Amino acid sequence: MSYDLREIERRFNKLERSNRTLKLMLSVCLLGAAVMMLMGAASPTPKVIDAEKIVLHDSAGNERGELFASENAWGLVLFNKNNTRAASLVVSAGLNGVLLCDQNGNVRESITQRILSGQNGIYFIRDRTLRSLG
């Protein structure tokens, strides 16, 4: 079997092109694998949110709730349509309670556990009158 020089050169050029294409494809695959490994190695999203206050808004942008924590008290406050306080759950050193308010934000019903005159007890407020449960 005899080949002329032109045929050998043509086949050699075709082999070199094929080699370059193979090297390019292999480089792309290695780069893609490296990117996938780096994406997988990224730190996962945290499962804990650390905040002093979280404010809830409705679709119109009105404030509807607030989860808060300060040095003195922490709790949850919900607001009604006219942006006054509707209900609260509050915990502090001197008062733990659930407060329910009217449409104007005035406390109407509550159940609290607080210290009055050095005595622990559970109390409720109805129309601004403090009453003991026990």
pLDDT digits (tens, 9 = 90+) for 14-34: 999 999 999 999 999 999 988
CA distance 94 to 120: 10
121, pLDDT greater than 70: no
* pLDDT bucket at 118, cuts 50 / 70 / 90: low
Contact 113, 97 (CB under 8 A): yes
> What pTM does this model have?
0.53
Average pLDDT, the chain: 81
DSSP SS3 for 90: strand
Gyration radius from the chain CA atoms? 36
| pLDDT tens digits for range 30-76 | 999 888 888 776 667 777 888 889 999 999 988 999 998 888 888 99
